[in-house]
Structure 1
Amino acid sequence: MFKLLSILFFSGHVVGTIWSQAAWFNPTCVFVPKTAQVMAAEIRKLGQTKTPFAIRSGGHMAAAGHQSLDDGVMIVTTALTEMTLVREPNDFGTTFVRAGPSFRWLDLYSFLEPHGLLAIGGRVASVGSGLLLGGGLSYFSSEYGWAANSVLNFEVATADGRLLQANAKENTDLFWALKGGSNNFGVATRYDLQTYPNSKMYGGMVTWPEDAAQAYLDAQTAFMLPGGGHEDSKAAIQPDISWSPLTNTTAFGNMFLYAGPVVNPKALENFTAIPTTSSTVALQNFTQVLAPSVQYGKRDRRWSYRDTSIKFAPETMNLIYRVMIDTAKEILIGVNCTVGAAIQPITQAHIQAARDKGGDALDLNPADGGFVISLYYAQWFDPADDDKIAQWSSKAVETLEAEATKLGILYAFKFLNDGGIGQHPISTYGGGRSLAKLKAIANKYDPKGVFQTLVPGFKLSSEPQF
């Protein structure tokens, strides 16, 4: 490793910041390659010297130790900044944006918007490109599938120092695996992303008073049940419920969007009918819809994520809410923190669109119906509270899964991008069918297991058979 220090920055350099302070470890140094070729060459050296290394793109993964490490090299993609619009004619037969992995989603959307174009990606301004390797949720997923389904090509630095192109014609198995398979195969050094026409949209951020709790939960339930707003593929919601143990107060919010110039569309009317405490909702550009999410990018606190999935059902929303509050009151009284539930609907249309666009490693079946990803999260400041938060996070998910199982509404899927320490999301892909295929692909492109043994994250080698 010491032979590499001439091109490494020591830890503490500004490029080494991470969104969750709980996820920051103490790497020996931070490596910032200026080109994809340098990235590939140095990954080869790290593998040859058996030097542990982690990869950080936007730095938004909450799971501690997945993008940083002790006594190793943290690779940061900050310097890979290309952002080029490629119009037709081209090899892919459609207009796309060629983007280095350093981008944040609001920056990419802002680049495309003057051209009347949109990419399919993150819902929070400050999230980075690594979202794509976990599948990626978008406000447009019911129309276009996971964000990864609109990747036309991945450029990948592999363990043996090669730069490979993975797309529908070259290295097709790797192309499939990277759409959800995370950092098990190499380091993405460029994404070629399909673009779509962009227009004014109706949406923004809304908050409601505590006394609107049941109306809020009922609106979400109505959205997901048959005949509800989710059946309009242009409608998307991102509900959030949070609770403070110190003040015993609950906050209810939602980022919602309708992908078209329609004010107060029928698909969202159950939400727009509830009196609000604040709202940025308007007919506006997508970057304006997204702008309030900038507040979630602060890198001054500790975060915990843990998720599971529940089928669309009349009981779903009330169950998620009750379990969050009950377990927090049992474990976190007196702790200075905020806990919450982010509820993320996955529609049948979303799953079908993913298949129609070529499929992915997540390989969900639209015949199994729609469901919500229930992300239980916490934010706090004092490291002394880490154990209590971890205890609550595990108890909340375990309780939710147990009660959902009794009701027959547990959906057997965990979303990698929202995963927590000790969870095994990849083993749930394809009802358990994807894991063996992913392991074979990893062995093909990384036969020495560099990305299984030297790189932290959700590793194929540690995933149990579903």
Structure 2
Amino acid sequence: MKTLKSGKIWGGITYYAPGAFSQLLEKACEFVENETDYDTHIMCSAGYGFGHQAVSCVMYHTQGKENPPSLRRFTSIEPQIHQMCSMRTSTHLNFSEELSKFSSNGKHQYWASITIRADISLMELFHDKWQETLTQIQGADGFIFSFGFHPLTKALLENSEKAGGNAAAIPPSDGPLFVLLINPIWALPEDDSRIFRAVGELVSELRSLARERGLLHRYIFTSYGFGKDDILAGYGDESLAKLVETSKRVDPRGLFQLGVPGGFKLPNRTIVGS
């Protein structure tokens, strides 16, 4: 098993005024296209909560370099909401604990994701569509709404291929990519139907817009995927075939598919007698 040295990391979250979205998007597209620093990672988002909007960039340098050249394009964006920013040198555990605070137990949540090829004009259109949906449902009690875009850079995909490839079988030629996250959170069950309907329509529209422009990618990030999405098909035919053959060999009766609740399951053809 390959291991990684766990050392000090520089990073955190930088928050910006909502008007900085276009700047952040431009810099994120520049980052995914051109950045070759393997030791950086970013996650960008626009968000709404408690009557206010903000834009943010979660960023890290895993070798602990403070404000490295690869991340200055993000740390220099203004206007920032400085009292909310958390850039620092710390540990992997500490940064994990910081992000875990954004996951709320006991709340109603909807997670959905698509993956697209990097394109500024399409992402601007997506942001506009997200804003339109926000106006329809922001009155729900305890409402929080995130529109995230997390990059799979050319450098990341190339490095992955050199290390033996990735389970999703995404070749470097497919990149760079953005994994998009649409994630509303709210408090009351009586708002479930209208929020599910509005956000479901939004995700469907975003997928159609990307497909029309030839920018939709098959991959759906498993941790963000909606329960009705065909997540495993997004791994590609070759990887899916390997999963099916493995299941036939080690679990012919389908214990893990039929006896274990939750998660995304392989097609039933992997089960003996199906």
For residues 290 and 281 of structure 1, the distance between their equivalents in structure 2, rounded to whole angstroms, comes to 14
Match of 1:461 in 2: 267
Change in 2 beyond 3 A, CA 1:350/1:224: closer
Counterpart residue identity of residue 310, structure 1? I
Higher RCO, 1 vs 2 (CA within 8 Å, ≥6 residues apart): 2
For residues 261 and 422 of structure 1, the distance between their equivalents in structure 2, rounded to whole angstroms, comes to 40
Cα deviation, residue 243, structure 1: 2.3
Q: Is the 8 A contact 1:202 1:282 kept in 2?
A: yes
Cα deviation, residue 297, structure 1: 4.0
Counterpart residue identity of residue 70, structure 2? A
The answer to whether the aligner puts 1:364 opposite 2:170 as a matched pair is: yes
Change in 2 beyond 3 A, CA 1:316/1:283: farther
Structure 1 residue matching 2:198: 3-state secondary structure? helix
- In terms of mean alpha carbon deviation, does 413-422 or 317-326 score higher? 317-326
Cα deviation, residue 458, structure 1: 1.0
Match of 2:37 in 1: 232
Q: Is the 8 A contact 2:21 2:46 kept in 1?
A: no
Cα deviation, residue 281, structure 1: 0.8
Structure 1 residue matching 2:102: 3-state secondary structure? helix
Counterpart residue identity of residue 411, structure 1? H
Cα deviation, residue 309, structure 1: 0.4
Cα deviation, residue 435, structure 1: 2.2
For residues 271 and 207 of structure 1, the distance between their equivalents in structure 2, rounded to whole angstroms, comes to 10
Q: 2:255 aligns with which of 439, 450, 453?
A: 450
Give runs of aligned pairs for residues 8-47 of structure 1, distance below 5 A: none
For residues 232 and 356 of structure 1, the distance between their equivalents in structure 2, rounded to whole angstroms, comes to 15
Q: 1:252 aligns with which of 40, 50, 55?
A: 55
Match of 2:13 in 1: 205
Q: 1:223 aligns with which of 4, 27, 31?
A: 31
The answer to whether the aligner puts 1:279 opposite 2:85 as a matched pair is: yes
Match of 1:387 in 2: 193
Q: Is the 8 A contact 2:66 2:89 kept in 1?
A: yes
Change in 2 beyond 3 A, CA 1:212/1:358: closer
Cα deviation, residue 379, structure 1: 0.7
Q: 1:270 aligns with which of 65, 73, 84?
A: 73
Q: Is the 8 A contact 2:31 2:153 kept in 1?
A: no
TM, length-normalised to structure 1: 0.53
TM, length-normalised to structure 2: 0.86
For residues 443 and 290 of structure 1, the distance between their equivalents in structure 2, rounded to whole angstroms, comes to 36
Q: Which runs of 4+ in 1 moved over 6 A?
A: none
For residues 298 and 199 of structure 1, the distance between their equivalents in structure 2, rounded to whole angstroms, comes to 29
For residues 291 and 252 of structure 1, the distance between their equivalents in structure 2, rounded to whole angstroms, comes to 21
Cα deviation, residue 360, structure 1: 4.4
For residues 241 and 64 of structure 2, the distance between their equivalents in structure 1, rounded to whole angstroms, comes to 45
Cα deviation, residue 354, structure 1: 3.1
Q: Is the 8 A contact 1:281 1:289 kept in 2?
A: no
The answer to whether the aligner puts 1:339 opposite 2:142 as a matched pair is: no
Counterpart residue identity of residue 75, structure 2? T
Count of residues in correspondence between the two structures? 264
Match of 1:39 in 2: none
Q: Is the 8 A contact 2:15 2:54 kept in 1?
A: yes
Change in 2 beyond 3 A, CA 1:416/1:284: closer
For residues 257 and 408 of structure 1, the distance between their equivalents in structure 2, rounded to whole angstroms, comes to 31
> Greater helix share, 1 or 2?
2
Change in 2 beyond 3 A, CA 1:443/1:296: same
Gaps of 5+ in 1: 1-151, 153-193
Counterpart residue identity of residue 270, structure 1? R
Give runs of aligned pairs for residues 288-327 of structure 1, distance below 5 A: 288-327=94-133
Cα deviation, residue 316, structure 1: 4.3
Structure 2 residue matching 1:308: 3-state secondary structure? strand
Cα deviation, residue 427, structure 1: 0.6
What CA RMSD, in Å, does the superposition of the two structures yield over aligned residues?
2.3
Cα deviation, residue 262, structure 1: 2.4
Match of 1:328 in 2: 134
Counterpart residue identity of residue 259, structure 2? L
Q: Is the 8 A contact 2:9 2:90 kept in 1?
A: yes
Give runs of aligned pairs for residues 83-232 of structure 1, distance below 5 A: 152=1, 194-225=2-33, 227=34, 230-232=35-37
Counterpart residue identity of residue 266, structure 1? P
Counterpart residue identity of residue 180, structure 2? S
For residues 200 and 316 of structure 1, the distance between their equivalents in structure 2, rounded to whole angstroms, comes to 37
How much identity, in percent, do the aligned residues show? 23
